Structure 1
């Protein structure tokens, strides 16, 4: 038994019994989503420790009163935004009470007067509000910019003495939102349910494989912060039942359904999977996987990885199709971010400018949307890398600020760390880039953009053979991968001195820019094919008349000087005796 002073946060869901009676599966699924997306990350970020959870509430310990209050304010403010377009009778809302007192710790549980008071004052809090004791109010008076309203002394159940209570004021103003904001939920991420895969083998022993595959897919998709994934408890209600897609979707609040089957044929297993748009019962994507039953668990891992890598891209493609029919004035934060990403990937000055406008709107609609802040950094980073900005220093400061904000909001978003790694590569801080890349990979090892970036980074670090393996893995994970993966593969093969393979990879590109033409020219230079090398150098000069070797090398991020000299020598060979004009040569074309 241990006793110490601690801040205790008690939270309880308002109207839990009513919500469960009306829609048990849907309520559990929505509550789980709020836990994964908001509540648990907010607790972790503010250094809290969950001591106990019940169906509708929890007790959390904090070493710091200010951390406890900051966590409570963040949860209530963000829950208010999430509920903005949810009917009143379906809203999930919390009451929160915070007390500072002596706590008894025993067997991973907490007891004592301090805990009892926190639980009692939580019941007196407003729905969506925060109630604190005087000890808490005194501690935060000069430390947090929140308003505190004196509620006077209250008599609490089973507490002998009156307790002085305060209410924390919460700002729910929509002033920061555009005038045409239509009260849609600011982050309307696509929701998806994975129904239990059917065992079509007639072999009961295969049942565990079908269930395990479903659970693994659920777990992997839950890593993707751009998706709301309905919980296993909700989806497995439909195991071995004939289902109506629209009814299931309406019941669970899902826009998309994944269903599939497992069939054993001799020494092989076939898994089929399909993605369905619940609104119109349309099949968006389907695939099948045939594997030999050498190691059923390895097969399960492989198929899970392939499905988890492919599905989010198919969902995003479907969302883009819907977005094309949406008036920009009515876009919510998620939709703005999605449209901004589409424009970013087009890679032109005009598209980048429009992407900046849309991503700024996403941030304004939901300042707590970490994904939007991360992509704002990425889009500004594109402008910074290509020189599409007048003041590069000012833009760089904006990039750093956006990434700091994204990281503070959600340290467990793989995309946040992926973009941090990419920006640090472009700033030639490869050690920092490697940290964030490894963090992104640990958070989502089957995210094709993270996997391919691992290959890129290893190539820059002088390990191109390993880089090739990672890039190939990303291509296998997502057969619908972006075309630029071929460019990454070509650069890795070049760094590995595999010129024929590099040229073959670059030839998969429908259109090449001056950088890709330069790499192909260097490949032909090393192979001694002067005619082909000259042809690609001509393309380089056509696309970028002011091209010089030094300015080109300055855009690369090799950690080893030998790799820099390798590309330099290849370009010199490609150019023949004419050589390259230096960066400050007045005769440069």
Structure 2
């Protein structure tokens, strides 16, 4: 039989399994060698190419749908400012048959390829998507999405599936940046640029270790000395100073001033950058400029809903400023959609339940807040355990708290008030700490 011999995609069901494997029917390594004689070097920045999704239906009746998904993906993915997106949807079927797309991507330094296909049975459509890392010529992610199709929900399906794929691949803790971060920490980089610092920043936000902080800080100092006009680097450095102030590190007064000075400088250098805008939101929070904070936070949420880390940070601070329902809802969605996220998000969730006197749920959230070196985690557990009258467990947390912050009992109200903007909740936390045995 010769049927199917010219198809560009092969769908195989492995023996003993049910999940289809989608492969391209050509020798890609041969294509690579034809690009040039010199050894290829990928761009240090993340680049993603979107190939046209393929219609696998027998009569080819769903090509409009596959084109729609590809276009929707290109629109949504472009909103992730950390990823450079190349849209190859304009290529014709003839170009695809000539297997030019991956070669074109390769020439542009693109490391990651997103491709997919669609099939239909009755009123059900199944959309396949996969991500290939060209640096190792290996599929690193694949998923299928089944939806019931009717004339009323075509656009809804295209948009929902595209958003889900985009979040999994391109959020700050998505597959692409995670892979790049792993690669970064497995190598020695002599040249520190803004993007490498950004990877370090995402790593620090998750792990919150002193080593990660020092590594990031030293990188940012070097970058801002070499390139003082890098708005993103200046903004990230501003954030580190803000964290030092909020956690009452030495020279906190200087850190407070540097947060304000550098955040405003970053805003002048890169006014349209989401990272820079989020840092300004943080600055307004620290400086307790409530009206400015709420206005800019809501503006950022409306414009940049795709950014997991930055949306999560906004939700965290909105919660602490009293917008508990909005903040908790956003945090829940982010934590459900992302395997990796900053564990300090659970601090806001702990306080959400604590202020409702739901101490059992608060304690469950507090035990998810496991960041070594940050006194807030044992402090919150101490307050909850105090309310639950679990003295033995509370004493262990108190010991840990005092090891991390020996002067906590003297500064308790001040330290809590830096983050928690509701005085009634500050007093509620102090009550729990006293019940646990702390002498404030």
Deviations 1:39-86 (Å, cap 9, x if unpaired)? xxxxxxxxxxxxxxxxxxxxxxxxxxxxxxxxxxxxxxxxxxxxxxxx
- Label 1:472 to 1:288 Cα distance change in 2 as closer, same or farther (>3 A): farther
Is 1:284 aligned to 2:145, yes or no?
Answer: no
> Which of 420, 425, 433 is the equivalent residue of 2:280?
420
Given that 2:79 and 2:306 are in contact with CA atoms closer than 8 Å, whether structure 1 keeps it comes out as no
- Label 1:290 to 1:553 Cα distance change in 2 as closer, same or farther (>3 A): farther
Partner of 2:91: 237
Question: Once structures 1 and 2 are overlaid, which stretch shifts more, 373-382 or 486-495?
Answer: 486-495
SS class of match (2:127):
strand
Deviations 1:237-290 (Å, cap 9, x if unpaired)? 166835477524224442221122334455544433322222221223333444
> Which of 43, 47, 61 is the equivalent residue of 1:191?
47
Deviations 1:401-432 (Å, cap 9, x if unpaired)? 32223222332222211222223323333332
> Which of 266, 270, 288 is the equivalent residue of 1:406?
266
> Which of 347, 356, 373 is the equivalent residue of 2:234?
373
Is 1:439 aligned to 2:291, yes or no?
Answer: no
SS class of match (1:284):
strand
SS class of match (1:271):
strand
- Measure, in 2, the Cα distance between the counterparts of 1:264 and 1:501: 44
- Measure, in 1, the Cα distance between the counterparts of 2:68 and 2:215: 44
- Measure, in 2, the Cα distance between the counterparts of 1:302 and 1:515: 37
Is 1:258 aligned to 2:111, yes or no?
Answer: no
SS class of match (2:261):
helix
- Label 1:508 to 1:396 Cα distance change in 2 as closer, same or farther (>3 A): closer
Given that 1:371 and 1:416 are in contact with CA atoms closer than 8 Å, whether structure 2 keeps it comes out as yes
Is 1:503 aligned to 2:402, yes or no?
Answer: no
Larger CA Rg, structure 1 vs 2: 1
- Measure, in 1, the Cα distance between the counterparts of 2:250 and 2:411: 22
What is the deviation of 1:366? 4.0
- Label 1:450 to 1:203 Cα distance change in 2 as closer, same or farther (>3 A): farther
What is the deviation of 1:549? 7.1
Aligned length: 391
Partner of 1:249: 105
Partner of 2:327: 467
SS class of match (1:286):
strand
Partner of 1:519: 380
What is the deviation of 1:542? 4.2
> Which of 219, 241, 248 is the equivalent residue of 1:358?
219
What is the deviation of 1:469? 0.9
> Which of 70, 73, 90 is the equivalent residue of 1:214?
70
What is the deviation of 1:478? 2.6
What is the deviation of 1:445? 0.7
Given that 2:51 and 2:70 are in contact with CA atoms closer than 8 Å, whether structure 1 keeps it comes out as yes
What is the deviation of 1:341? 4.6
- Measure, in 2, the Cα distance between the counterparts of 1:551 and 1:337: 33
Partner of 1:328: 189
- Measure, in 2, the Cα distance between the counterparts of 1:506 and 1:239: 54
- Measure, in 1, the Cα distance between the counterparts of 2:341 and 2:119: 28
What is the deviation of 1:544? 3.2
Partner of 1:300: 158
Which of the pair is proportionally richer in strand?
Answer: 1
TM-score when normalising by structure 1: 0.59
What is the deviation of 1:380? 2.5
Is 1:449 aligned to 2:305, yes or no?
Answer: no
Question: Once structures 1 and 2 are overlaid, which stretch shifts more, 254-263 or 327-336?
Answer: 327-336
- Measure, in 1, the Cα distance between the counterparts of 2:61 and 2:435: 63
Given that 2:242 and 2:259 are in contact with CA atoms closer than 8 Å, whether structure 1 keeps it comes out as yes
> Which of 339, 347, 353 is the equivalent residue of 2:208?
347
Is 1:275 aligned to 2:131, yes or no?
Answer: yes
> Which of 381, 385, 391 is the equivalent residue of 2:246?
385
Is 1:315 aligned to 2:176, yes or no?
Answer: yes
Partner of 1:50: none
Partner of 1:168: none
Partner of 1:83: none
Q: Unmatched 5+ residue regions in structure 2?
A: 1-40
- Measure, in 1, the Cα distance between the counterparts of 2:80 and 2:55: 27
What is the deviation of 1:192? 1.4
Partner of 2:424: 562
Given that 1:195 and 1:235 are in contact with CA atoms closer than 8 Å, whether structure 2 keeps it comes out as yes
SS class of match (1:380):
helix
- Label 1:566 to 1:325 Cα distance change in 2 as closer, same or farther (>3 A): closer
